[in-house]
Structures are given as structure tokens and as C-alpha cells.
């Protein structure tokens, strides 16, 4: 089976799943009567609709190739970094480091991925960004909360640019005997991370009782985590045929993605709580901001990238 055949089947499968979800959503909207239930179902249907759009965007960019896919992730980083910085208090002296973050480091990171300069893209932000940002902030001579301000920008860059960029970096991996199959690895990563989120939400809504971290994230439950996580691991094992992994290895990889995704969602919930907000933004209706959808992927991408690179290339 050729790469495009596989992608065709995969996106077809996703569309079938979304089709079923849309039908269920429609049926629920007919059945539900209580005020509270209606709000939940409305939010569910808004989420499903947004999923259609997001899947379409990914399908088109995959179809158009590596360049467009890298640009799509660069834009994702741009919007998530914008959401992150917008919620953080910044001062006038942060302007120069922010210019560097948005207009220099972000494009540079994705350019390095485009030209496949592994040795540099893995240290650009953790090392050179780390040195550059405080220097630029200090040049402005405003010591008020200096460490806090510089750390926020560095953290935002690590999360939204550095970590997320490891997803399209999968396209640069050379797996022996499997040319150009980075798209399938990327599909695997995104699908498992998002499917895990969705299933945790579904299991949590249906069976959720025991809260994992009530203060940080009231919506995360043990039942949701276990049920959703197992469903995602099963889905990962079922997708072994598009990966260089055996079914068991694929399940283990999916488990790593689920675990990191969960930790990402939890950590970013803690950040949101500390800022006193519920969502990162309003760009994707029903879901909140872009970062609300990317939090799990952001934590999972570097780990999945390194596991794959270390064991399979």
C-alpha cells in the first residue's frame, strides 16, 4: 500500500468517526431537556464541528506536502504563543525579547526543521534563546520582576514553539526502508494525543467520579483518565500497521503519548488557574483557545520524537 493510500484510508476513518459523533450529537440535541444538559450538548456539538474544520486543515496540509505542514505548525506555534503571552502581564521592557521570540526565534526554529538541522533545532531555544532573551530584556534596564518576566517568555517559547515543533520534526526522520513515512508518524502522534483527550472527556462525562487534581483541573477524573487512556492505547495498537512499530510497541508508544498528554493538560491547567482563567482564548468555538487543544500534544511531541528517533532510526 502506498503512502497516499494509507493516508486516504486514515483520514477516511477519521471522517467516519466524526460522522458518527455528529449523528450522536444531533440525536442528543433532540433528546436533552434539562438546562444543564443542553449546555453540555451544545458545547459537544460545537467541539465536533470544530473537529471537522481541524481535520480538514490537517488533511489538506498533509496533501500539500512537507513545506505546508511545517508552515501549519509554525502558525500553530504563533497562535499558541500569542495566546500564552497575551494572558501574561508584560512590561514595556519586554518588547524587545518579544520581538525576538515572535519574529526571530519562532521562524528560525521552523526553518531549521525545514532544512533538517537536527543539532541546532534541539538547542536553539533552550540554549540560545535562554541566553538571548534576558540579554535583550536587561538592555532596557528595567529590573522589576526581571527573572519572572524573562522566565515567562522563555517558558512560553519552550512550550509553544520548541515542544510543538517536534511534531513536524517527525517528517525529518529517516526510518530505514520507510521513506517519507514521517507523515504517518505525525498522524499517529496527533491522532493518539487528541483521541486520548476526547476519550478522557467522554469517559469522564459518563463515569467520572474521582477527581485526580480537584484544585488544578476539576474536569479530570481517574475514571476518565483510565478509560480514555486505555481506549487511546488500544487505538494506538490498532494503528501499528502505519508505523515502524510492532502492535505491542505501538501500544507502548501510545501509552507514552497518553501519559505525556495527560501531564501536559494538567500542567497547563495549573498555569491557567494561576492566571485566573479557564481557557487560553476563544479562537476555536467550543474548545477555547488553540493552546487548549495543543496542551497535550505539546508535552507528547518531544518525547514521541525522541523515542522514535532513538529506537527506530
Partner 1 sequence: MIDLVLIGLTRFIVGGQAHWIGASPDTRQRIYFANHASHLDTLLIWSALPRLLRGSTHPIAAADYWGKGKVRRHIALKVLNAVLVDRATQGPPGAALAPLRGVLAEGESLVLFPEGTRGNERLPGPFKSGLYWLSQEFPEVELIPTYLDNPSRAFPKGTFLPVPISCTVRFGAPLLRRAGEEKDEFLERARAAVGALASDPVA
Q: For partner 1, give the closer residue by CB, 22 or 90.
A: 90
Cell of residue 243, nine digits: 508505523
Q: Is 285 in the site for partner 1 (CB under 8 A)?
A: no
Q: How far apart are CA 268 and CA 264, in angstroms?
A: 6
Q: How far apart are CA 107 and CA 105, in angstroms?
A: 6
Q: Is 271 in the site for partner 1 (CB under 8 A)?
A: no
Q: Is 89 in the site for partner 1 (CB under 8 A)?
A: yes
Q: For partner 1, give the closer residue by CB, 39 or 275.
A: 275
Contacting residue, 281, 284, 295, 304, with partner 1 by CB under 8 A: 281
DSSP at 213: E
Rounded to the nearest whole angstrom, what is the least distance from the CB of residue 71 to partner 1 in the complex? Answer: 14
Q: Is 146 in the site for partner 1 (CB under 8 A)?
A: no
Rounded to the nearest whole angstrom, what is the least distance from the CB of residue 292 to partner 1 in the complex? Answer: 14
Q: How far apart are CA 166 and CA 264, in angstroms?
A: 15
Q: Is 278 in the site for partner 1 (CB under 8 A)?
A: no
Q: How far apart are CA 304 and CA 253, in angstroms?
A: 7
- Grid cell 518588547 — which residue? 95
DSSP at 142: -
Q: Is 282 in the site for partner 1 (CB under 8 A)?
A: yes
* Number of shown-chain residues binding partner 1 (CB under 8 A): 22
Rounded to the nearest whole angstrom, what is the least distance from the CB of residue 79 to partner 1 in the complex? Answer: 9
Among residues 156, 183, 173, 178, which one has the least CA distance to residue 72? 183
- Could you tell me what percentage of the chain is helix, strand and coil, using 3-state DSSP and rounding each to the nearest 5? 80, 5, 15
Our measurement of the distance from residue 164's CA atom to the centroid of its chain's CA atoms, rounded to an integer in Å, reads: 7
Q: For partner 1, give the closer residue by CB, 27 or 148.
A: 148
Q: Give the Cβ contact number of residue 31 at 10 Å.
A: 9
Q: Is 179 in the site for partner 1 (CB under 8 A)?
A: no
Residues in contact with partner 1, shown as a per-residue x/- string from 19 to 58 under the rule CB under 8 A: ----------------------------------------
Among residues 74, 120, 80, 82, which one has the least CA distance to residue 98? 82
- Binders in 90-119 for partner 1, by CB under 8 A: 90, 92, 95, 98-99, 102-103
Rounded to the nearest whole angstrom, what is the least distance from the CB of residue 78 to partner 1 in the complex? Answer: 7
* Contacting positions for partner 1 (CB under 8 A): 78, 81-83, 85-90, 92, 95, 98-99, 102-103, 274-277, 281-282
Amino acid at each position: 500500500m502506498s503512502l497516499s493510500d494509507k493516508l486516504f484510508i486514515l483520514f477516511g476513518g477519521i471522517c467516519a468517526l466524526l460522522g458518527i459523533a455528529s449523528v450522536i450529537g444531533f440525536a442528543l440535541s433532540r433528546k436533552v431537556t434539562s438546562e444543564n444538559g443542553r449546555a453540555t450538548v451544545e458545547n459537544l456539538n460545537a467541539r465536533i464541528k470544530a473537529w471537522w474544520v481541524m481535520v480538514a486543515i490537517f488533511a489538506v496540509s498533509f496533501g500539500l506536502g512537507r513545506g505546508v505542514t511545517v508552515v501549519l505548525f509554525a502558525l500553530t506555534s504563533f497562535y499558541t504563543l500569542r495566546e500564552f503571552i497575551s494572558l501574561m502581564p508584560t512590561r514595556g521592557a519586554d518588547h524587545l525579547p518579544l520581538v525576538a521570540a515572535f519574529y526571530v526565534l519562532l521562524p528560525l526554529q521552523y526553518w531549521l526543521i525545514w532544512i533538517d538541522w537536527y543539532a541546532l533545532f534541539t538547542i536553539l531555544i533552550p540554549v540560545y534563546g535562554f541566553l538571548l532573551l534576558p540579554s535583550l530584556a536587561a538592555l532596557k534596564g528595567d529590573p522589576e520582576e526581571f527573572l519572572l518576566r524573562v522566565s515567562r517568555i522563555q517558558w512560553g517559547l519552550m512550550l509553544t514553539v520548541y515542544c510543538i515543533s517536534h511534531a513536524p520534526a517527525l517528517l525529518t526522520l529517516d526510518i530505514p526502508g520507510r521513506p517519507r513515512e514521517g507523515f504517518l508518524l505525525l498522524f499517529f502522534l496527533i491522532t493518539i494525543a487528541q483521541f486520548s483527550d476526547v476519550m478522557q472527556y467522554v469517559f469522564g462525562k459518563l463515569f467520572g467520579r474521582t477527581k485526580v487534581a480537584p484544585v488544578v483541573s476539576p474536569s479530570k477524573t481517574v475514571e476518565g483518565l483510565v478509560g480514555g487512556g486505555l481506549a487511546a492505547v488500544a487505538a494506538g495498537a490498532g494503528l501499528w500497521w502505519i508505523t515502524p512499530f510492532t502492535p505491542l510497541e505501538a501500544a507502548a508508544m501510545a501509552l507514552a503519548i497518553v501519559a505525556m498528554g495527560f501531564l501536559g493538560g494538567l500542567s497547563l491547567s495549573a498555569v491557567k488557574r494561576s492566571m485566573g482563567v479557564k481557557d487560553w482564548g476563544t479562537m476555536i468555538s467550543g474548545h477555547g483557545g488553540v493552546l487548549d487543544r495543543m496542551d497535550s500534544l505539546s508535552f507528547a511531541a518531544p518525547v514521541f520524537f525522541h523515542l522514535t528517533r532513538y529506537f527506530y532510526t
